[in-house]
Amino acid sequence: MLRPSDPLGVAGVLLAAGASRRMGPGRNKMLLKLEGEALVRRAARRALAAGLSPVVVVLGHESDRAMSELAGLACEVVVNPDFTGPTSGSLHKGLEQLGPDVGAAVVLLADMVLVTQQMLAGLVAAARGSPAPLVVSRYGDVTAPPLLFRRALFGELLAWSGEGCGKTVVQGHRDEALFLDWPAEVLADVDTPEDFAAATARLNPR
């Protein structure tokens, strides 16, 4: 049992299971290299560097290949066999891996390649300084991952089904949430070859 004076234990749930349908035949975006590192490894390493523990990586499409990219990182892996289904299935798989000592979880997407270690650490710091049940990233008028949920909301997340990262739960607790504002351009994700080319150009300027 954690005492009230104990620091909030915050896990990471990294969603990286999708089928990469929009990337084109034979291309798994999780295996694409950005700054010399596969997207899935890059995201997991940032989550670990931000102090999230444990970091659970939810894989699906070509899970064996993706798992090999995580070699040497101190993260846990769970496979969602229904990775073509709604995002909620992967989120549930990740949450189910978390032990009772975890007081909150940061949910993040491996294809949001501009999310930094500092952003993730900022969510944790905000949660440790506030009783808010969730800490939400906001990009202009858009709310999106990474999102921090306290354990009190895990039951609602596990009962929810659909696309997005607990969107209905976020909306239901919007009045209680703490919002952190980030630059709108950080919202960019990698879904298509064009997205990947843009991310590569942004992170490796000539």
pLDDT of 131: 94
Angle, vertex CA 23, rays to CA 22 and CA 28, nearest 5? 120
Higher per-residue confidence, 163 vs 176: 176
* CATH code at position 54: 3.90.550.10
Three-state DSSP state, 179: strand
**Buried-state track 71-81, b at ≥16 Cβ within 10 A, e below 16:** eebebbbbbbe
Edge-to-edge strands, sheet with 178-182 = 76-79, 55-59, 10-16, 104-109, 142-150, 134-139, 178-182
Judge whether 4 lies within some domain. Answer: no
Judge whether 3 lies within some domain. Answer: no
Nearest partner of 147 among 129, 174, 120, judged by Cα: 120
Residue 77 in this model has a pLDDT that exceeds 50: yes
pLDDT of 3: 41
Judge whether 14 lies within some domain. Answer: yes
Judge whether 206 lies within some domain. Answer: no
Residue 117 in this model has a pLDDT that exceeds 80: yes
Q: Running DSSP on this structure, what letter comes out for residue 31?
A: G
Judge whether 30 lies within some domain. Answer: yes
Q: How large is the average pLDDT for residues 143-147?
A: 96
Judge whether 24 lies within some domain. Answer: yes
76 touches 57 (CB < 8 A): yes
Judge whether 115 lies within some domain. Answer: yes
Residue 5 in this model has a pLDDT that exceeds 90: no
Give percent of the chain with pLDDT exceeding 90: 73
User: How does pLDDT run across 20-71, given as a tens digit for each residue?
Assistant: 666 655 678 899 999 999 999 999 999 999 999 999 999 998 999 999 999 9
- Measured CA to CA, the distance from residue 86 to residue 161 in angstroms comes to 7
21: containing domain: 10-201
Higher per-residue confidence, 157 vs 193: 157
Number of domains the chain contains = 1
Judge whether 1 lies within some domain. Answer: no
Q: How large is the average pLDDT for residues 121-147?
A: 96
Residue 1 in this model has a pLDDT that exceeds 50: no
pLDDT of 147: 98
* Phi, psi for 172 (deg, rounded to 5): -65, -25
Nearest partner of 49 among 103, 102, 118, 105, judged by Cα: 118
